[in-house]
């Protein structure tokens, strides 16, 4: 959105705006925002994607094959990182992967051309942090449920000399507790950085084109070409970040299952 000076504010796209004031609970206003709206859109798209691909036809169509390929991809990842125990986590990790993937991709769609302004809610640490805490909670629940107090052996590497346990244990524990922070931060930073770069390049294109035909040729055209390249890269990043989030989740669950 253009500021009063004519410059484009690259941070305006991340502003959470209230769509509906909602209701009041114990003095706290619960509002429905643009972020919540696009979460609902991503959840609906995921539901429609799965609904259309679960026909179980003998000869699968393209949609069913696409769903089966994504499911098989996550199942293979869990089998490689967790083993046979990974199958029971398939619904969660698959839903997590697809939800993040759709959220990232929906925020990149050029819907502004038809008057709809997409909102990438994974560019907010509050959202990615909650997703990370959900995965971390599963790790804690599984770890203590399966191993009890022995779960703390995870923080003592095998073969550690007894005198070094006093030093190694707190270091490993702090590193473990920082996992949800790093997991959420990685996705948040990747998405916000790309969107800021696209907005800055869009500012170059618009302002240079408004300045003069000369500046339009010198600045606007190269900036637009760069925008196309960055947009393609952002689509790739959207998929990679969803995969990394699911992959790290599976690795953390493996620690809870096998204590290594």
If DSSP codes are grouped into helix, strand and coil, which group holds residue 8?
Answer: strand
Burial category of 117 from C-beta neighbours within 10 Å (exposed 0-12, middle 13-18, buried 19 and up)? exposed
pLDDT on residue 42: 94
For 47, the enclosing helix (H) or strand (E) is helix 34-52
Q: pTM here?
A: 0.88
DSSP E strand boundaries for the chain: 18-25, 28-33
Range of the domain at 189: 45-258
- 63 assigned to some structural domain: yes
Domain count within the chain: 1
Q: What pLDDT score does 111 carry?
A: 80
Query: How far is 39 from 194, CA to CA, in rounded Å?
Result: 20
In a domain, 194, yes or no: yes
Tell whether 22 is covered by a domain: no
Q: Is residue 38 part of a domain?
A: no
- Tell me if 36 is assigned to some domain: no
Q: Each residue of 110-140: pLDDT tens digit?
A: 887 777 888 899 999 999 999 999 999 999 9
- What is the three-class DSSP state of 2? strand
Does residue 227 lie in a domain region?
Answer: yes
Domain-located, residue 33: no
* 23, part of any domain: no
**What per-residue confidence (pLDDT) applies to 46?**
93
pLDDT at 25: 73
- Which pLDDT score, from 0 to 100, does residue 241 have? 95
Which token pair is 188?
A: 């948040």
Q: Please, which residues bridge with residue 8 across strands?
A: 2
Which residues of the chain have a pLDDT value below 70?
1-8, 26-27, 57-58, 260
Phi (first) and psi of residue 28, to 5 degrees: -110, 125
Which pLDDT score, from 0 to 100, does residue 1 have?
Answer: 43
Report d(CA 188, CA 176) in Å as an integer: 20
């Amino acid at each position: 959105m253009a500021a009063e000076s004519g410059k484009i504010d690259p941070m305006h796209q991340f502003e959470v705006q209230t769509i509906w004031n909602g209701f009041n609970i114990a003095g706290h206003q619960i509002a429905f925002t643009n972020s919540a709206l696009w979460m609902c859109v991503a959840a609906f798209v995921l539901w429609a994607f799965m609904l259309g691909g679960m026909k179980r036809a003998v000869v699968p169509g393209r949609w069913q094959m696409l769903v089966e390929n994504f499911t098989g991809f996550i199942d293979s990842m869990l089998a490689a990182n967790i083993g046979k125990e990974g199958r029971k986590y398939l619904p969660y990790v698959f839903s997590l992967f697809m939800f993040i993937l759709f959220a990232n991709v929906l925020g990149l769609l050029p819907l502004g051309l038809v008057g709809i302004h997409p909102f990438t809610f994974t560019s907010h640490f509050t959202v990615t942090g909650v997703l990370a805490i959900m995965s971390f909670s599963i790790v804690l629940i599984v770890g203590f449920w399966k191993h009890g107090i022995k779960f703390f052996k995870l923080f003592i590497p095998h073969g550690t000399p007894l005198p070094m346990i006093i030093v190694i244990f707190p270091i490993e524990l702090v590193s473990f507790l920082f996992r949800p922070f790093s997991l959420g931060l990685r996705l948040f930073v990747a998405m916000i950085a790309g969107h800021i770069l696209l907005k800055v390049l869009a500012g170059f294109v618009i302002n240079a084109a408004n300045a003069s035909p000369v500046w339009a040729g010198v600045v606007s055209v190269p900036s637009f070409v760069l925008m196309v390249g960055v947009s393609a890269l952002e689509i790739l990043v959207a998929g990679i970040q969803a995969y990394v989030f699911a992959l790290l989740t599976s690795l953390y669950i493996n620690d809870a299952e096998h204590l290594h």
